[in-house]
Structure 1
Amino acid sequence: MAETEPQSGDAGPPKGVPALKAHIAANKIDVALWAIRVLTVLFTIGYVLPLFNNPVSAFYKALLANAATSALRLHQRIPAREIAISREFLARFFLEDSAHYLFYSLIFMNVVPNLLILTPIFLFALLHAASYSLTILDTLGQNSMWVARLLISLVEFQSRNILRAAALAEIILFPLVAIMALFGYCGLLTPFVYYYFVTWRYASRRNPYTRNTFRELRVVAERAADKPALPAALRSGIHSGVQLVCRMAPPMEHVQQ
């Protein structure tokens, strides 16, 4: 029997499981990134709701999954042939957001678990996994899993708020890490190492949300300090705190817009 000719009304490539298999074969790293990000989300949920796993184990598995995601993204952004031991390469390496979060996972591999530590990596994993899930669902067919599509659309609709929440968690974590170090929940050097992470996030070329959130917090703090009813000592403390944070920020000429 002769093959059926495609009709003029047919639209797009074939859909379904065979198309999904072909997509996976053609996009192995992207699919692996999606799967690891889903695992990051699941491990974080497992830490909060330890129904089937040890919460401490889930915490460190989430960090390891984030490290694996970051390493794969770095592999995509910086091919192996371009790796070299030089100042130029290291400067380029630490401009990559993926390098920041690979470093992030390493910082917290030996600390007492805390939900705020998982918050940024959970939010990033949720947002990126949701985005690629639409690609996978489109490969299966336009009408597949409409409930999942609705949930993914809700996540993407809130993408700006999710990125702002992740940036806020990065910032709030700085004083928390200092308190943790004082009480022995992490090493004494951890706050100093985390400071470098925050400066890299502040200077990020691809994600301005940490930098913008710092500015928004400064505006809020200065407005609060200007209220007449505020005691003079507290007003002075707020202004001193703002000035300290401003001095700790990297020079603006090093910030890539």
Structure 2
Amino acid sequence: MADKGPQAGDTGPPKGIPALKAHVAANKVDVALWGIRVLTVLFTIGYVMPIINNPVSAFYKALLANAAISALRLHQRIPAREISLSREFLTRFFLEDSAHYLFYSLIFMNVTPNLLILLPIFLFALLHAASYSLTILDTLGQNSMWVARLLISLVEFQSRNILRVAALAEILVFPLIVGMALFGYCGLVTPFVYYYFVTWRYTSRRNPYTRNMFRELRTAAEKQAARPALPAPIKSALLGGVQLVCRMAPPVEATPQ
């Protein structure tokens, strides 16, 4: 008896739980990243609304989850066989955005919890988790969980604004921890260490949002300083602050077109 050809109802690969299991088996690291990002979002919510967990515990769990995400991303970007104790490797290592945020988690493991510190990692986790959630839903079927798809679409539609807010939070954390150091809520060395994180984000090759946000803040400050009604002391303070930040900014290599 001859084999039957494709049935008229066949529209592609199988969907549902078997397809999801196959996807998980074939993409273990990506699925693990998705799960840890969901946990990061939940831990941050738990810090803001401590209904079940202790908020301090939730704060540090969110940082640890972010460190795990960063380590896994570094594993994807830099295979173990390429690791060495050379200057070239360290230069490549600190060019990776994942290395920046691994460093970020380590910086704040011994500071007093603050929501602004969690905001950048929460927003990145939310954005990337939403994106991969769509992949998982597509594996289950095109029409599965339309409410979740709608929420994911709203997050992705606001992706540019989410990245801009995350960049702004990275910048605002710096004056926050300066104040925290002065009042004993973190070590006196923490602001100096965090400065290196900000310089790495400023020179990031893959994410220009921090650099662009600095430009936007400079433009806004200079625009305010140009107002005739602004008192001279405030004008001098604004322009002095702009000049100080410009002197502290690292040089940026031109990105080849």
Place the TM-score, normalised by the shorter chain, in its bin.
over 0.9
Letter of the 2:37 partner, please give it: R
1:201-220 equivalent positions in 2, closer than 5 A: 201-220=201-220
The alignment partner of 1:11 has SS state of coil
- Residues 1:83 and 2:83 aligned together: yes
Give the drift of 1:9: 4.6
Letter of the 1:148 partner, please give it: A
Structure 2 Cα separation of the partners of residues 158 and 192 of structure 1: 33
The alignment partner of 1:108 has SS state of helix
Q: Kindly provide the CA deviation profile for residues 14-34 of structure 1, in whole angstroms up to 9, marking residues without a partner as x.
A: 000000000000000000000
1:120-199 equivalent positions in 2, closer than 5 A: 120-199=120-199
Structure 2 Cα separation of the partners of residues 34 and 4 of structure 1: 40
Q: Kindly provide the CA deviation profile for residues 45-90 of structure 1, in whole angstroms up to 9, marking residues without a partner as x.
A: 0000000100000000000000000000000000000000011000
Structure 2 Cα separation of the partners of residues 4 and 172 of structure 1: 65
The structure-2 alpha-carbon separation of the partners of 1:174 and 1:3, relative to structure 1 and needing over 3 Å to count, comes to: farther
Letter of the 2:52 partner, please give it: F
Letter of the 1:84 partner, please give it: S
CA contact (8 A) 1:204 1:256 kept: no
Give the drift of 1:5: 4.3
Give the drift of 1:8: 4.2
The alignment partner of 2:109 has SS state of coil
Please list every run of 5 or more consecutive structure 2 residues that lacks an aligned counterpart in the other structure.
Answer: none
Structure 1 match to 2:96: 96
Structure 2 match to 1:110: 110
Structure 2 Cα separation of the partners of residues 222 and 148 of structure 1: 43
Structure 2 match to 1:10: 10
The alignment partner of 1:109 has SS state of helix
Compute the TM-score of the two structures, normalised by the length of structure 1: 0.97
- Residues 1:27 and 2:27 aligned together: yes
Letter of the 1:172 partner, please give it: L
Structure 1 Cα separation of the partners of residues 107 and 4 of structure 2: 59
Structure 1 Cα separation of the partners of residues 235 and 252 of structure 2: 27
How large is the Cα RMSD of the aligned pairs? 1.4
Structure 1 Cα separation of the partners of residues 255 and 76 of structure 2: 21
Structure 2 match to 1:65: 65
Structure 1 Cα separation of the partners of residues 168 and 27 of structure 2: 33
Give the drift of 1:226: 0.4
Aligned length, in residue pairs: 256
Structure 1 Cα separation of the partners of residues 2 and 46 of structure 2: 54
CA contact (8 A) 1:111 1:187 kept: yes
Give the drift of 1:12: 1.7
- Residues 1:249 and 2:254 aligned together: no
Q: Runs of 4+ in structure 1 displaced over 4 angstroms?
A: 1-5
Give the drift of 1:128: 0.1
Q: Kindly provide the CA deviation profile for residues 121-144 of structure 1, in whole angstroms up to 9, marking residues without a partner as x.
A: 000000000000000000000010
CA contact (8 A) 1:199 1:250 kept: yes
Structure 1 Cα separation of the partners of residues 26 and 241 of structure 2: 52
Structure 1 match to 2:224: 224
